[in-house]
């Protein structure tokens, strides 16, 4: 994944209400040479005025408060074209369809290995969003 800011740093925003998953994803991303910034909620993400321009966002579909799908819609309305990887423990066909309609390109099980997730992060293109179950 190429950094969008030209610095060589790849910033990934992770929004998930599961603390252990946030830590796990952050470790995985750091191991892949990326710079993760984690948030426990969409509201925390939106309130962070110092965040860099993210090269990729990892969003939980089902969050307390504003969902990852709703955040995707907000960002699209603001013309933010950052690629999004969706993750969820509950594969809901309607949520999957909504994610796909918003630009989601493929599906992957949340229980996949770290190596497979790392490949997914590395393969994300600038205009692609991915839905991980």
pTM for this prediction: 0.77
- What is the CATH number that goes with domain 11-132? 3.40.50.2300
Average pLDDT taken over every residue of the chain:
76
| β-strands 35-39, 104-108 pairing | unpaired
Residue 73 reports pLDDT greater than 60: yes
- Measure the CA–CA gap between 25 and 35, rounded to whole angstroms: 11
Domain ranges of the chain: 11-132
- Measure the CA–CA gap between 4 and 96, rounded to whole angstroms: 27
What ranges in the chain are assigned the alpha helix state H? Answer: 19-31, 42-47, 68-77, 93-101, 114-123
Answer yes or no: are the C-beta atoms of 48 and 71 closer than 8 Å: no
Q: Is the pLDDT higher at 102 or at 125?
A: 102
Residue 123 pLDDT level (bands cut at 50, 70, 90)? low
Residue 15 reports pLDDT greater than 90: yes
Phi then psi for residue 36, to 5 deg, are -80, 145
Residue closest to 99 by CA, chosen among 125, 73, 117, 124: 73
- Measure the CA–CA gap between 67 and 40, rounded to whole angstroms: 12
At 115 the three-state DSSP class reads helix
């Amino acid at each position: 994944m190429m950094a969008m800011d030209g610095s060589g740093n790849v910033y990934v925003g992770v929004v998930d209400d599961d603390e252990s998953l946030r830590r796990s994803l952050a470790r995985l991303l750091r191991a892949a040479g990326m710079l993760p910034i984690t948030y426990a909620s969409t509201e925390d993400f939106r309130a962070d005025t110092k965040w860099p321009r993210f090269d990729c966002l990892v969003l939980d579909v089902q969050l307390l408060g504003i969902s990852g799908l709703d955040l995707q819609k907000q960002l699209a309305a603001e013309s933010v074209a950052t690629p999004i990887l969706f993750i969820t423990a509950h594969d809901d066909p309607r949520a999957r369809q909504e994610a796909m309609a918003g630009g989601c390109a493929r599906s992957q099980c949340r229980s996949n290995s770290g190596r497979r997730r790392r490949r997914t992060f590395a393969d994300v293109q600038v205009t692609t969003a991915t839905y991980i179950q």
